[in-house]
Amino acid sequence: MTRIRPAAVAGTFYSNQTAILHKDVQKFLREAGLHSEREASSWPKALIVPHAGYVYSGIIAASAYKLLATGRGKIRRVVILGPAHRVPFRGIALPGVDAFQTPLGALPVDRTGVGAIKHLPQVLELPIPHAQEHALEVQLPFLQEVLGQVFILPLVVGKASPREVAEVLDALWDGPETVILISSDLSHYHPYAEARNIDNATVQQILRLDTTPIHHDQACGATPINGLLQAAQRHHLWPRLLDLRNSGDTAGSRDAVVGYAAFAFFTEPTTS
């Protein structure tokens, strides 16, 4: 019997109505910033995207997802890592299901990828952290709209070291048919100007591939970002900032904001 992880935050973080969700995601993709001709001709190896409600960060996430459009039919697997917001645990959690459901349909979990990492001591099958976790789920409708039916390997990252994350990424790296997606927001609940300063410093650290650990007060997905930076440095990826805003720019007060950034990591240098 097929085990399916049902949508947990449809109706809160994004619409639970299929037609509305489709329309919303397509609108974000249309309105996201334009990219250079070279970037539009090939897709990145890795992305960092935010995971707030779509009204807050959907447009920023779309700036990254639109870069995958040329890979439709060629990208076979998306490895998604995001932080554990609700259930603390040690390690990196596999979902223990066969598919993830959204209002746009179900995306199958890549069993080959599961087999490639389940022997690692930091990897465990733990459905509970996945059950209500929004960081991975909010990425799926974008993948469905841009790539269609594609295999996913969703991983919730609990207490783990950057090295342990990088080891998982290395095991799943493969070629251009595999894309790595890190789900993370930036700083939380600082006044607007202070948040911009904090987030600008974090952005520069990521663009330098600086493996000095990013802290969780800089980014809620700091652990998976730190692991990606280690792997990106080893694999000689080239990072590019696509968009940087916060909730004060999109749909909220400027008294206490949450930061959002989108990055793409390419196998060759790109131009703006």
Q: What is the pLDDT of residues 9-55, one digit of tens each?
A: 999 999 999 999 999 999 999 999 765 444 556 899 999 999 999 99
Distance CA 207, CA 8 (A): 33
Assess if residue 271 is contained within a domain: no
Give a yes or no: residue 171 inside a domain. yes
Q: What is the pLDDT of residue 242?
A: 98
What local confidence, expressed as pLDDT, does residue 34 receive?
A: 64
* Higher pLDDT among residues 176 and 35, named by residue: 176
CATH code of the domain in which 80 resides: 3.40.830.10
Spatial separation of the C-alpha atoms in residues 228 and 210, rounded to whole Å: 11
CA distances to 3, 45, 88, 144, 199 from 160, in Å: 27, 23, 11, 29, 23
Domain presence at residue 11: yes
25 part of a folded domain: yes
- Residue 70 lies inside a defined structural domain of this protein: yes
How many domains does the structure of the chain reveal? Answer: 1
pLDDT tens, position by position, 47-100: 999 999 999 999 999 999 999 999 999 999 999 999 999 999 999 999 999 999
Residue 272 in domain: no
Confidence of residue 271 (pLDDT cuts 50, 70, 90): low
258: containing domain: 4-189+197-266
Q: In which band, very low, low, confident or very high, does the pLDDT at 1 lie, cut at 50, 70 and 90?
A: confident
Residue 262's pLDDT band (boundaries 50, 70, 90)? very high
Neighbouring residues of 108: CB distance < 8 A, sequence distance ≥ 6: 98, 99, 149, 151, 152
What pTM did the predictor assign?
0.96
Average pLDDT score, the chain: 96
The pLDDT of residue 42: 86
